Every structure is written in structure tokens, then in C-alpha cells.
Structure 1
Amino acid sequence: MHLPSIVIALILLIIIWFYIDLTLGRKKHRSFFQKRETPILYGNFDIFPHGKELFADYFQELRNAQNHIHILFYIVRDDQFSQQFFDILKAKAREGIEVRLLVDQIGSHKVKKPAIRELRNAGVQFAFSNRIRLPFLFYSSQVRNHRKISIIDGKIGYLGGYNIGKEYIDQDPKLSPWRDYHLKITGESVPFLQREFFIDWNEYASDHVIVDSRYAPRQPKGTVPHQFVPTEAGFLEEKYFHFIENAKKSITIGTPYFIPSKKLIDELLRAAKRGIKITIVVPYITDHMLVQEASYRYLRKMLLAGAQVFQYKNGFYHAKSIIIDDHLCDIGTANFDKRSLFLNKEINCYFFDPAFVERFRGVLHKDILDSKPLKLEDLNKPNFLRSIKEGIAGAFSFFL
């Protein structure tokens, strides 16, 4: 057999292996994941759209911790800002505070062994989430823990789009200022957020923790009705479909990556056809190769259907949100893309309070004012290089 034939055969075998691994891995994942969501609970919320303000508040609350600190992030970098974060955790652990840090193995691959050793020597309990495991090596390499959760003393929670790295506090010249949404939470739902953390912790850490009143003390009610919904293995698509299907007047989507499934894009087009006003906010600049080109085929369809699309120009837009009519909004960790829909572990907070929805609409309106309308003629201008990128992006859109 000639060398070219051998190479082609090997490539075909790899493709077949990828397909079988992905298909069987996803099937197994769906078989053991049980859908779970909190009941409607009541809490109080601060919204942080700027990283500097968020982390000033967050770091201060970490320093004030009295009993325990439990943290899950997708990305922790190896830079000065991350070192400041580590220094706070080590100092609290030396005080005798229980500190647990869980980070995604691939998203936080820059956290090296010396840094982990220092954390553990100081008393911080550290673990990698979503390690690559047999028998489905390819599938497990793609299923990332994209959740960002922090719980302090079982009384204060944080949830949203920010990670730990210099870009999130506007120290990356290309992506600054970084625009995102992160929630600070108090009220009766924080213990539920604590339980979600330990579900992930118990899957990957060496010790198995039973959550009791030490970690999840009963908290007084707040004023804003909401619900936490963790998703993985494709169940987020069902949630989003239900929201779109039941919209009566308007749908507003903010996302850094607009790469919906066929089921969701079809339902959005049906919503537009029945007169629903649809607004989509996406970045003008991109932080990952091909994700922008992957979105164009869907944005063309939405523009043809009468939707408004805005490209955020005052920095990089990484926020994740959905507003339905005047009574529901979603803020969380999930992007409006196939990776968040079908692969990643995510957690979103859904709000059912018209006053809070109106409050958040003001935040999103500010972002629209800082955006440029995207026109269909812009996307339809002949551009050979962009067309090539769109073709490649379309082939790999499931993984972008």
C-alpha cells in the first residue's frame, strides 16, 4: 500500500473513532445525568458588569470569610492577578478557614504543579474538574466544567461569566475593557448553590463531602424570586426552547458566541414570523478563532427574519443573558452556542421578577448603546477569506 493511501486510511480511522467516541460518550453522559433545578426561591442580588468592581468586592468577601470558602472556576490563569487570588486563599487556609478550589482541567491548564503544591502546603484543598478519562477520551476532553461558582460561609454566593485572569480586570490590550455579567447573591438560595458545588466536588476530589448545616446554613428570604438550573449533556437546549416558544412580545439575547442548534434557530425564526421582536447582542471583536465566522450563517437568517443584531464595540462582550418579554431573564455561565448547549457543564439563574428584569434591562440597554448595528449587507459583501473561514467554522461549529 502506498504511503498516501496509508495516511488517508489513518485519517478515516481517526474520524470514525472520534465519531464513535463522541456518540457513545454523550449517550452514556445523558443516561446518568439527572435533571435538577431548585424551586422558586427568594434572594437579593448585585449585578457586576465590570471586572474591577466585581473583584474588589469578591476579594474583600474572601478576606472576611469566617468558616469556609468553596470556589469553582473554568479558567484560572498563571499571571499576577491569579497569584493575588491564590495568595488570599492561602492566607485564609493558614488562618484555619476551610478552603476548597475546583478548576476545570483544560480551562485552567496553566495552573502548574508548583502553584498547586503551594496551595496544598498552605492547607487549600485543590482538585481538577472534568479530567480526561477512559473509555471516551475524545468526549471527556470536550466536556468542560464551565460553571463559575463561589460560596463564602454558606451565606454569600457568586455566579456569572467572569474567571480569574488579567483580561477580566482590563489588563489585556486587545480585549479591554472586558464586559460581562456576574451576580453576588444573598438569601435562601445560597445553600442550594453550595450543594451544587459539592456535586461537582464529590465527582472529582478525593474526599466525598455530605452537605449539612455546617456548609449550608438556613438563610433568610430575600426579595427577588429566582431559580438555579445546572445543565449538561444537552438539557439546556430544552430550557431555551421552552423560553423562546412561550415568548409573547420580545426576546433579547446577549452572548459572545451565537451558534445555536438547528432546533433553537428554527424556533427563533418561528418567533420572528409570529411578530416577536428579537434583539441579539454579540461582540465586534473576537477572543477565539472562527467563532465569529461560525455565527454569521445564523445571524444572516435572523437579520432576514427581521431581528436586530448589535455588535458591542466598547471592548470585548463576554456576557451571557436572555430576556423574555418583561417577566423573565437569565444570567449565568452558558453561552448561546452548541458547546454550552450540548457539551459543557453550566449553571444559570432565572429571574421571575418584573422589577429585576427591568433593572437588568437597563444594564443591557447600556451595552446596546455601546454597540454598532450589524446589517445584512455587511455580511453579504464578497469576502473570499471570510467565506473560507465560514466554511471551516461550519464544519467544526459543534466544538467552538
Structure 2
Amino acid sequence: MGWLIVAIILLFLLLLDYKWGKKVSKAAVQKKAGVARQSDITLFTTGETLFDDYFAQLEQAKHHIHILFYIVRNDEIGQRFFSLLEQKVNEGVEVRLLVDWVGSFGLPASLRQKSGQFAFANRPALPFFFYKLNERNHRKITVIDGKIGYLGGFNIGKEYIGQDPKFGHWRDYHLKIMGEGVHDLQRQFQEDWTKATGQSFGNSERYFPPLQKGAMKHRFLSTDGKYLEEEFIQLIKRAKQEIIIGTPYFIPSKKIMNALLEAIKRGVQLTIIVPMQADHSFVKEASYPYFRQLLRAGARIYQFYNGFYHTKVIVIDDDICDIGTANFDRRSLFINYEMNCYIYDKPFIQHVKQTIARDIDTSTLLTAEYFRKQTWFQRLKEATATMIAPLL
């Protein structure tokens, strides 16, 4: 009986830590109003094509390389990545590498030392250790010489180039940005670097060089576990004909779910693409209560079976395309640090929609029949997933 009392007390303390820590943390978050920019933007959808371009640009860096990833693996591609950073350090290029403490936990010091200046983002500490353990920097930003930027869903690891047999082909969306928008990526990296290290590299022209406007109008949106919900709701409310959502995890808030149902009622076609297989326990089952409601309302839900689907994309009619680091789940909405890019260029949006159409070609349509055939074990797993959904 004594162990049960201890377990109850421990659970109470963890809940208190989480609730109080979240309240204190979110009270300090300020809304970041993104500025309208114009840049040239390229979309990558496979790790092979992205990293061919990415490593080539790192090779050509002359002054500085600033990188933030959620996950960096100690595998073949990770070692290639660190070897390249070490080469650039030896050439006299400033290299700053920031990785999330939880996402890249266990990264050996022998690799970290090759990257010039290295730091962990969001290292958990007292007070509110349990909450801070969950508050992760999920942004994936690279800035090269203040002129070239990258943002999206890919991290550094073999699974992201399709070399993990568990997942096979890895489908993701990542942007390359050239133009005035790179300044916003640089500023966000600087903010995260200063928070992690207490050091700032300043605002000189070396880091913020004059940049030309590109062809595509866009706006960056950075969130620190707050304000993303209202941004997504505003997107949904703007839709007149169509909403497309691609995400590895579909666990919306109640307000977002209501906004989606209201959009369907006013005649908007909602299409959702999610992976057939899951990369984490319970995340798939946590989406099922929402899928049942949306299917009854008339939504189309597809499960991508050609490998693993990790994209983070929202398309509203032919007007707005959102690509970035945020998943369509409560962790991204209310806990993680994220960065998204709203793109308003119609030809680019059409390109994205054509890419999504090809994703749907290798997906299967989810139907209500699937849920009617669930076993009692599947229903139990779904009930468990629903209880822990905020932390998935």
C-alpha cells in the first residue's frame, strides 16, 4: 500500500510541476508579428535532394553557418554532417550549431566538438523540471552567410534520407529561402542561440547583409508554445472552397476542431493526409476520435502508405500555403517552439497542391468502416491515447 501512496504523491507533484511551469512559461511569451517579405523559395520533398543541395551550400560558406535542428543523429549522415562542419571551422568559417537537448539526447561530445560553437537548446532545469523536459525547440533553421536559409521538417539522420528500413521512404517538405526573408531566420536563430548560451553575435552587416527582394510574397511565424492555435484558426476561417492539411500527427485543440467542423458546414472541402504507420506510440490512435467526427461531417482523410509521411503543410484555397516545423497537434500548438512560413504566391501554391496530389496517389482513403471493425484492444489503446494526447 505504501508504494501506491508514493506513486500518487509523485504523480501529483509531476502534474503540479507541469501545470505551474506551463503557466509561468506562457506568461512570459510575447507574440511575434511576422513581417511581409519577398524571397525566392524552393520546395524539397525528399531528403536525398534536400541534402545534396544543403551540403553543397554548406561547402560554399565563406563567413558563417548557423544551424538549429531538433534531431541530429550519430549515424552515417550525421558523421558526414559533422565532418563538413569541422572542415568549415578549419577554413576559418564561424559555425554555430544549436540542437534540442531532448531531440538530440546522447549526441557524443566527440561529434559536438567538431562543430565549432555548440549548444543545447531547451536544456531542462529547475524549477519546473518536468514541464521544461517537455518544452522543446522543434525549429529547424539554417542560415549560411546571412544570404541563404532553410526551414522545414527534415532533421539530420538516416531515416530522413530513406535509409531506415522501419520507415522506408521519408516524405517531408522543406524550404530553401533566398532573399529578404533570410533576415527573419537569422533573427530567430540569434534569439534561440542567445537564450541557450547567453551570448549574442550582434547585428552587424556580416550577419545581416543587404538582401534583394525575391519573387514570392511570404511571412514567417515563430511561436513558443503560444499563439499558434489562434493563427491556425484564422487560416481555417479564411477558407472559402478548400482546406488541405498534411501532418504526421493530427491531435487538434477543441477550438481548432470546432473551426474545421464549421468550415465543412459552410461548404469548404476538408482534405487531410496522415501517415499509415506511426513513428511514436499512441499518436495514431489519438487522432481517431477526431477522424470519426470529421468523416461524419464529410471530410476526406487519406493515409499515406509509401513510407512515412512527416510533412507539415496547410493549404487554404489558392491563396495561402503554410509550410514549416509545426505539426497539427497539441504539442506544437501549446508546448514546442516552432517556426512556419506562410506563402502567398499562387504559382508556388499550385506546385504544392500538385505535390500533395501525388502524395494522395500513394495513400488510401480512410472510411467509417475501419472504425467499425476495431477490436477491443484497439479501442483500449485509443482511450489511453486520448488521455495522454496533450503530451504526444
TM range (shorter): over 0.9
1:379 aligns with 2:375: no
> 1:159, 1:182 within 8 Å by CA — same for their partners in 2?
yes
In structure 1, the residue matched to 2:336 is 344
In structure 2, the residue matched to 1:15 is 11
In structure 2, the residue matched to 1:361 is 353
> 1:192, 1:216 within 8 Å by CA — same for their partners in 2?
no
Q: Which runs of 5+ in 2 are unaligned?
A: none
> 1:147, 1:345 within 8 Å by CA — same for their partners in 2?
yes
> 1:37, 1:227 within 8 Å by CA — same for their partners in 2?
no
In structure 1, the residue matched to 2:271 is 279
In structure 1, the residue matched to 2:102 is 106
Q: C-alpha displacement at 1:28, in angstroms?
A: 1.5
- Range that drifts further, 79-88 or 381-390: 381-390
Task: Please list, as runs of the form range in 1=range in 2, the aligned pairs for 1:314-329 lying within 5 A after superposition.
Answer: 314-329=306-321
Amino acid at match of 2:243: I
List, as ranges, runs of 4+ consecutive aligned residues in structure 1 with deviation greater than 6 Å. none
In structure 2, the residue matched to 1:48 is 44
In structure 2, the residue matched to 1:173 is 165
Pick from 311, 318, 326: which aligns with 1:334?
Answer: 326
- Find the aligned partners of 2:239 and 2:198 in 1 and give their Cα distance: 45
Task: Please list, as runs of the form range in 1=range in 2, the aligned pairs for 1:142-221 lying within 5 A after superposition.
Answer: 142-221=134-213
- Find the aligned partners of 1:180 and 1:372 in 2 and give their Cα distance: 18
Taking a change above 3 Å as real, the CA distance of residues 92 and 118 of structure 1, as seen in their structure-2 partners, is closer
> 1:237, 1:264 within 8 Å by CA — same for their partners in 2?
yes
Q: C-alpha displacement at 1:282, in angstroms?
A: 0.3
- Find the aligned partners of 1:169 and 1:329 in 2 and give their Cα distance: 25
> 1:167, 1:178 within 8 Å by CA — same for their partners in 2?
yes
> 2:29, 2:226 within 8 Å by CA — same for their partners in 1?
no
SS across alignment from 1:309: strand
In structure 2, the residue matched to 1:223 is 215
Q: C-alpha displacement at 1:270, in angstroms?
A: 1.3
Amino acid at match of 1:143: E
Q: C-alpha displacement at 1:118, in angstroms?
A: 4.0
Q: C-alpha displacement at 1:335, in angstroms?
A: 0.3
- Find the aligned partners of 2:277 and 2:93 in 1 and give their Cα distance: 41
In structure 2, the residue matched to 1:91 is 87
- Find the aligned partners of 2:32 and 2:339 in 1 and give their Cα distance: 11
> 1:76, 1:110 within 8 Å by CA — same for their partners in 2?
no
Which string of whole-angstrom CA distances, capped at 9 and with x for unpartnered residues, describes residues 165-204 of structure 1?
0001110012110000000110111011101100000001
> 2:83, 2:114 within 8 Å by CA — same for their partners in 1?
no
Task: Please list, as runs of the form range in 1=range in 2, the aligned pairs for 1:130-141 lying within 5 A after superposition.
Answer: 130-141=122-133
> 1:18, 1:138 within 8 Å by CA — same for their partners in 2?
yes
- Find the aligned partners of 1:227 and 1:237 in 2 and give their Cα distance: 17
Q: Percent identity?
A: 47
- Find the aligned partners of 1:260 and 1:237 in 2 and give their Cα distance: 9
- Find the aligned partners of 2:197 and 2:36 in 1 and give their Cα distance: 30
Q: C-alpha displacement at 1:21, in angstroms?
A: 1.3
Instruction: Name the count of aligned residue pairs.
Output: 392
Which string of whole-angstrom CA distances, capped at 9 and with x for unpartnered residues, describes residues 270-302 of structure 1?
111121100000001111111101111111111
- Range that drifts further, 385-394 or 179-188: 385-394
Pick from 62, 65, 68: which aligns with 1:66?
Answer: 62
1:267 aligns with 2:264: no
- Range that drifts further, 325-334 or 375-384: 375-384
> 1:104, 1:130 within 8 Å by CA — same for their partners in 2?
yes
What TM-score comes out, normalization by structure 1 length? 0.96
> 1:250, 1:324 within 8 Å by CA — same for their partners in 2?
yes
> 2:150, 2:175 within 8 Å by CA — same for their partners in 1?
yes
> 1:198, 1:211 within 8 Å by CA — same for their partners in 2?
no
In structure 1, the residue matched to 2:241 is 249
Which string of whole-angstrom CA distances, capped at 9 and with x for unpartnered residues, describes residues 144-163 of structure 1?
10000000000000000000
> 2:225, 2:332 within 8 Å by CA — same for their partners in 1?
no
Pick from 374, 379, 393: which aligns with 2:385?
Answer: 393
- Find the aligned partners of 2:157 and 2:260 in 1 and give their Cα distance: 35
Amino acid at match of 2:236: I
Q: C-alpha displacement at 1:37, in angstroms?
A: 3.1
> 2:85, 2:114 within 8 Å by CA — same for their partners in 1?
no
Q: Which runs of 5+ in 1 are unaligned?
A: none
1:30 aligns with 2:26: yes
SS across alignment from 1:256: coil
- Find the aligned partners of 2:76 and 2:199 in 1 and give their Cα distance: 30
Amino acid at match of 2:140: K
- Range that drifts further, 164-173 or 204-213: 204-213
